[in-house]
Chain A
Amino acid sequence: MSYRSPLGRARGLGSAKQGTHHFWIQRVTAVALIPLVLWFVYSIAQLPSADYEAVRWWVHAPSVAVALVLFVSCVLYHSLLGVQVVIEDYVAGEGAKITALLLSKFVHVVAAVAGIFAVLKIALT
């Protein structure tokens, strides 16, 4: 019994050779997040206060700004891949699934751009 769909057989196309790309990038971002999460949690816990001036002064330091940009990018990329799998697993209708996947992708990209912009704005002003 062939598991290929009639459309797949008609097109005669095989694997796009990117079957493990999602899996691999999820692991790459996971490994990158090991030091970044430790740094982020430790730094936030060490902040003298959550005042506007204190937090701005912290983000303004170049090393902190670079680490924050990396943290925000890796977190949102890792989150995008994870949320995609959850939607694919639990949203059954094809229309609802594609809508949810598109919405998730847009929200993640907008959040990443906004987060990186905010950090750079503080660091460069």
Chain B
Amino acid sequence: MSTPASNKNLPQRPLSPFMIGPYYKPQMTSMLSITHRLTGLGLSFGALLLVVWLSCLAAGPECYAVIAPHLAAWYGKLVIFAFTWSLLYHFCNGIRHLMWDLGKGLDLPTAEKTGYAVIFASLGLTAGVFALSLT
């Protein structure tokens, strides 16, 4: 691993260490932050699966018949459920981030309140989506 500190040709810049663990105790706000990143990464793979699904749909019934049984299987439903919650979590927390970009709700009590709101809203919306899909 070549870090800036080990390279003598570069000035000794201050490094930004990974804070959670050795320096900070895990807190609700930092856990929501890392969850935002993890769901984002997961959704990138979800976007690729969406493209595979659309491409099979465009290719014709034979191609679609290859992936359709996987979507209907228990593991397919589990993956769709995980992507639905991830998308809705990233959506709700993304709005929280946009609000911070406007300079609103940056104080700790508000950040904790909006954090809990994001958890409950993402779970509520996921439940709503699955209730809607069953009707």
Contact B51 A93 (CB under 8 A): no
Residues of A in contact (CB 8 Å), total 45
Q: Which residue of B lies closest to A90 (CB)?
A: B18
Asked whether any CB of chain A lies closer than 8 Å to the CB of B65, the reply is yes
- Contacts A41-B88, A92-B3, A118-B54 given: A79-B132 contact, CB under 8 Å? no
Interface residues of A in 17-57 (CB under 8 A from B): 27, 30-31, 33-34, 37, 41-42, 44-47, 50-52, 55-56
- In the complex, what's the smallest C-beta–C-beta distance from B52 to chain A, in angstroms? 9
Interface residues of B in 22-65 (CB under 8 A from A): 37, 40-41, 43-44, 47-48, 50-51, 54-55, 57-58, 61, 64-65
Contact A3 B13 (CB under 8 A): yes
Residues of B within 8 A of A118 (CB): 51, 54-55, 57-58
* Majority-rule SS of B interface residues: helix
In the complex, A56→B50 CA distance in Å?
Answer: 14
- Contacts A115-B54, A117-B58, A118-B57 given: A92-B2 contact, CB under 8 Å? yes
- Contacts A3-B11, A72-B50, A122-B58 given: A82-B71 contact, CB under 8 Å? no
Residues of B within 8 A of A37 (CB): 87, 91
In the complex, A56→B60 CA distance in Å?
Answer: 10
